[in-house]
Structure 1
Amino acid sequence: MTDRAFLAQLDGYGLTTAEICYFRPDHPSLIQIFAWQEYDAAPDFPVLFDFLAHWRRQIEAEIKSVQIAHDQLIRPASWRPADGVISWE
């Protein structure tokens, strides 16, 4: 059986992490942080935006900010010299 995360990466999805800062109605002066992580497709982030839409509908907490980090883990191989100089002598 093949891992779902590996198949998502082969389809172009990369690991996405979102830091969601929010206020709860019972403590409006206290900011809280929720870390969310899933495989998603940049730059549209459909999985993350579906989650945020669910949050706005179902969770009684006002989102203050969302910071997104994304990295496509499977990509074509690349190389660069360690000293930054390419020499073909």
Structure 2
Amino acid sequence: MTQAQSETELMLKGYGLTTAEFFYRLPDYRHVLNSFVWQDYDLAPDHPRLFRFIEYWQKNIEGPLHSVRFTHRKLIGPGEWRNVVGEFTLH
């Protein structure tokens, strides 16, 4: 995606909300685990944005990853959306 799109446009194109929880070790205290929550609209089942973020983490952040768990929820689909044009005013 090169241009900014609204959340509704993304959902109509098949994107769903992906939430991931990263467990990582602190750089100075390797026995201590910390967590970080990340959310973005992504395409299942390949999850390119999630895997791009994991690659970024591994290359640029000092705290090594212990584990990642994630969930994906498609909020709406093209068949569930109807564009309504018009408005009725009463009184």
Query: TM (normalized to structure 2)?
Result: 0.77
Equivalent residue in structure 2 for 1:42, among 23, 41, 44 = 44
List per-residue Cα deviations over 1:25-73 (Å, max 9, x = no partner). Answer: 1111110000000000011000011111111110001101110111100
Mind listing any 5+ residue stretches in structure 1 that lack a counterpart? 78-89
Q: Could you say which residue in structure 2 is the equivalent of 1:23?
A: 25
Q: Could you say which residue in structure 2 is the equivalent of 1:62?
A: 64
The AA in structure 1 aligned to 2:9 is L
Mind listing any 5+ residue stretches in structure 2 that lack a counterpart? 81-91
The AA in structure 2 aligned to 1:56 is Q
The AA in structure 1 aligned to 2:42 is D
* SS of corresponding position for 1:27: coil
Q: Could you say which residue in structure 1 is the equivalent of 2:8?
A: 6
Q: Distance in 1 between matches of 2:6 and 2:74?
A: 15
The AA in structure 2 aligned to 1:24 is L
The AA in structure 1 aligned to 2:48 is P
Which structure has more strand as a fraction of its residues?
1
Identity %: 43
Q: When the two structures are aligned, how many residues end up with a matched partner?
A: 76
Q: 4+ residue stretches of structure 1 with deviation over 4 A?
A: none
